Amino acid sequence: MSLILSTEEGLRQAYLEAEKHLKTSPKQQQWLNKLEQHLRAVQEASKEVFFSLPFQRTLWNSDVVSGVGWGGAINVDKVISDDAVIERLWKLRTEPLPEPGNERTRYLAREFSECLALIAPQVRKKPRLKLFNVFASIHPSEFVTLSYTKVLRSLARAMGLPASTKIHPVDVHRSILDRFDQVLGKTAAPPSRDGLERMSLAWALCSTAEEEADAVEIVDTDKDAGSVKLLPLPAERRRRGMLAIAGSFATIRGIVEFAKDGCMREDLREHIRSINSALSPAAINTNLHALIAEWGVLQSNGSMLELTTRGEALLENGDPDDVSDWLLTKILGFDHVLYELKTKTHATRNQLRSLLKLVNPGWTTNFNPDAMIGWQRDMKLIYREGEVFKLTETGLDWAERIHWIPESLPPLNAPDDLDVAETSTTSQTLVRPALRDILSFMPVDMVFSNKLVARLDASLWSNHRRHFAVLAGLSGSGKTLLACSYARALWKAEADSRERLYVLPIQPGWHDPSSVFGYVNPINGDSYVRTGFLEFLMRASADSAQPYVVVLDEMNLSHPEQYLAPLLSAMETGDDIELHTFSEAISGVPSRLPYPANLLIIGTVNMDETTHGLSDKVLDRASVIEFWEVDVDAYPGWGKTSLASDAAATAREVLIGLYKALSPKRLHFGWRTVGDVIGYMEQAAQGGVINHLDSLDQAIFSKILPKLRGEDNTRLRAALEQTRLILRNARLHDSATKVEELQEDLLHTGSARFWR
């Protein structure tokens, strides 16, 4: 029968029941005997003994005062050999305390906090539970045998005592003891038998406290063992899935901080909206519900929202450990991942996905499994090494708390058509087409060498997931043509191959991914504005057996690391591409899209003053092929031109000469320019007004000379002089005169530019 501990009568009755158990339990008596021996050893230790390594190891690692549970895994070897820490503890034991009351409690609280700060740099995690046991061993009359702060506060609250996180745990220990003295009368200090029984009474009362139902359900106050034990819910009673929240655990902490003094539900909604303005009202409510049902850090009190004891602990320590009991025992699948990695040491993402889909057969997509994997990575429980996930030290600590075999939900009667389709799709394997087949389907009139195509092919397939090549260099050299021709050759020029090729012309001013991946409609938050590339990407993800090629045309007109950020990150890690933060699909767009390992990315880059350089983030993921040399004489258009033979021969000779003159300064031109010059001359010939020399002169003036520019140096002077001679010898007077003007500018101003 549960008792109300906040009343004197209820507390007295609970005390009598606890005392009865104490007197009749051999294990409880054995524990008190050990506790007495431990306290006397600490009180009577000489300085030499106190400073010895064996004594310090016992002082810090003993759980005789209070079970430290998973806190016992924290290694304190550096702490127990630190003279500064030991000296501080020796002074705490030997120097007189302030008078009983607020001054003494404040002194102990300050000492505890300063000691914790002193040892923090030497440990992976702050050993709060161990330090409480140390302080209780040194001054047992000031503490109860309950170092687990969350349970301590829960008991204090059940007793009607202040227990918010603003109050130091040392004060909570003292207030519980004062309440005992007030209602039950004072006793002799420990290690007297009466004092030991009074010190252990708080632990004995924990099973009676009903302040928070979830704490009672999870924490097993085993009086005989004196330890905290997790009690897992059956699979069918667990929460199914974890909502992916933008900002992850840091966002959870920020929301808890906002609600620390209690807040109106609408105020918290507004705060969540301020964190992520893209959330719709429905998504904000989903986030709010997740904090209550998935994390157990908030609870409703009418129109107000308040922190649970678990939420207060998270606020106080900022440590995921404070929600570990809830996640391990109430969230379906969370314990399975840790248990699996503890048992098998490692697993791939797909293996973990398959495991979680067996745990909950209702998870027919990767969304829920990936959200859970993402949370465990964010909380530093697992980490990725190559293609597999492993437990971190913290993850191993959590896994050690799982003393049960995790349960799964029963299988569904039969999967629906969508499940079957998805399974068959995801199981398909991408096969790399043979290079000889690709070469055989390249256009017959294209003069790119087989060696160049082979370089592109090797660049794209050099990594099993990162199929990314960048064609950089001369404008008009055929980079985009090569990329598209290679893509079509992958599918042997099939009629539907256009569905698997997407050319994305990059625009200046793309500073975020929304221009490429789309975005949640800010006016109607329940709709998603799609882009052509997103549609293409979704097709590629759903058709994993076929290669899909996207050509990023002039990809450095904006910064790729900005507009491609989600894709570049997923390409490297193998994680999903995050599209939005809703738990469900919006307008058919899922929140996350598995990175399509069948996606081939070919970027084209021109380097001039209108473009940006490529960052290391891009270069680390791509193979770069330079295009600075073209063969003007091999341009396929020479054999197709309608120009008279003498006009064509003149143009060919002049353009070859200009190419050679300008290439040392990288002011030369590509086939696009050659084609434009020929096209201009053909149209002039049809008009019958301009002769072929004048048309060639004007074509060169308008297509080649505007790109001549630079500061004074030997190469530029030589390039301009050779260009002038070629133009004069060919009797192209307007162009020659313009080059001579550039030479004059270079001589008198130190720079030359077509546009003055």
Q: How far is CA 255 from CA 224, 266, 297, in A?
A: 38, 13, 10
| The pLDDT of residue 184 | 95
The amino acid at 582: F
The answer to the question of residue 20 being in a domain is yes
Which band of pLDDT confidence, cut at 50, 70 and 90, is reported for residue 217? very low
Q: Which of 354, 383, 400 is at the close of a domain?
A: 400
Q: Is the domain of 517 the same as that of 564?
A: yes
| The pLDDT of residue 498 | 66
Q: Is the domain of 611 the same as that of 543?
A: yes
Q: Which of 191, 210, 229 is at the close of a domain?
A: 210
Whether the Cβ atoms of residue 472 and residue 659 lie closer than 8 Å to each other: no
Whether the Cβ atoms of residue 252 and residue 382 lie closer than 8 Å to each other: no
Q: Which of 17-31, 394-408, 659-673 has the highest mean pLDDT?
A: 394-408
Q: How far is CA 688 from CA 75, 642, 683, 695, in A?
A: 92, 14, 9, 11
Q: Is the domain of 249 the same as that of 270?
A: yes
Q: How far is CA 326 from CA 18, 135, 425, in A?
A: 28, 28, 36
Examine the pLDDT at 318 and tell me if it is beyond 90: no
Q: Is the domain of 613 the same as that of 738?
A: no
| The pLDDT of residue 207 | 55
The amino acid at 527: S
**Could you tell me the strand order of the sheet in which 347-348 lies?**
347-348, 388-391, 382-385
Residue 578 sits in a domain whose CATH number is: 3.40.50.300
Examine the pLDDT at 185 and tell me if it is beyond 90: yes
| The pLDDT of residue 228 | 62
Structure token pair of residue 22? 């104490």
pLDDT digits (tens, 9 = 90+) for 497-538: 567 899 999 999 898 899 999 988 777 666 788 899 999 998
Examine the pLDDT at 347 and tell me if it is beyond 50: yes
Enumerate residues 6+ apart whose C-beta is below 8 A from 275: 246, 247, 251, 254, 255
Examine the pLDDT at 391 and tell me if it is beyond 90: yes
The answer to the question of residue 40 being in a domain is yes
Q: Is the domain of 602 the same as that of 690?
A: no
Structure token pair of residue 310? 């678990």
Examine the pLDDT at 414 and tell me if it is beyond 50: no
Examine the pLDDT at 219 and tell me if it is beyond 50: no
| The pLDDT of residue 218 | 34
The answer to the question of residue 215 being in a domain is no
The answer to the question of residue 692 being in a domain is yes
Rounded average pLDDT over 649-677: 90
Q: Is the domain of 395 the same as that of 454?
A: no
- DSSP assignment of 550-598, as one string? EEEETGGGS-HHHHTHHHHHHHHH-PPEE--S-SS-BTTB-SEE---TT
Rounded average pLDDT over 19-48: 91
Which band of pLDDT confidence, cut at 50, 70 and 90, is reported for residue 416? very low
Examine the pLDDT at 180 and tell me if it is beyond 80: yes
Which band of pLDDT confidence, cut at 50, 70 and 90, is reported for residue 25? confident
pLDDT digits (tens, 9 = 90+) for 223-237: 444 456 788 989 988
pLDDT digits (tens, 9 = 90+) for 539-583: 888 888 889 999 999 999 999 999 999 999 999 888 889 888 776
The amino acid at 489: A
Rounded average pLDDT over 472-498: 79
Q: Is the domain of 705 the same as that of 674?
A: yes
pTM for the predicted model, two decimal places: 0.48
Whether the Cβ atoms of residue 392 and residue 383 lie closer than 8 Å to each other: yes
The answer to the question of residue 221 being in a domain is no
Q: Higher model confidence: residue 503 or residue 1? A: 503
- The dihedral region occupied by 365, where left means phi > 0, alpha psi between -120 and 50, and beta the remainder, is beta
Domain count, the chain: 4
The answer to the question of residue 223 being in a domain is no
Examine the pLDDT at 415 and tell me if it is beyond 50: no
Q: Is the domain of 683 the same as that of 723?
A: yes
Q: Is the domain of 454 the same as that of 532?
A: yes
Neighbours of 399 (CB within 10 A): 20
Rounded CA-CA distance 456/462 in Å is 10
| The pLDDT of residue 629 | 77
Whether the Cβ atoms of residue 208 and residue 187 lie closer than 8 Å to each other: no
- DSSP assigned state of 277: T
Q: Is the domain of 245 the same as that of 185?
A: no
Examine the pLDDT at 661 and tell me if it is beyond 60: yes
| The pLDDT of residue 421 | 34
Cross-strand bridge partners of residue 227? 222
Q: Which of 162-166, 172-176, 671-675 has the highest mean pLDDT?
A: 172-176
End-to-end Cα, the chain, rounded Å:
95
Examine the pLDDT at 215 and tell me if it is beyond 50: no
- The dihedral region occupied by 318, where left means phi > 0, alpha psi between -120 and 50, and beta the remainder, is left
Enumerate residues 6+ apart whose C-beta is below 8 A from 386: none
Neighbours of 39 (CB within 10 A): 23
Rounded CA-CA distance 318/297 in Å is 12
Average pLDDT, the chain: 86
Name residue, tokens 């995050």.
578
Which band of pLDDT confidence, cut at 50, 70 and 90, is reported for residue 412? low
Structure token pair of residue 289? 């519900």
The answer to the question of residue 458 being in a domain is yes
The domain in which residue 371 lies consists of: 237-400
The answer to the question of residue 426 being in a domain is no
Q: Is the domain of 75 the same as that of 201?
A: yes
Examine the pLDDT at 135 and tell me if it is beyond 50: yes
Examine the pLDDT at 30 and tell me if it is beyond 70: yes
Q: Is the domain of 369 the same as that of 244?
A: yes
Cross-strand bridge partners of residue 239? 331
pLDDT digits (tens, 9 = 90+) for 65-96: 987 655 556 789 999 999 999 999 999 999 99
Structure token pair of residue 215? 């704490």
| The pLDDT of residue 240 | 82
Whether the Cβ atoms of residue 593 and residue 543 lie closer than 8 Å to each other: no
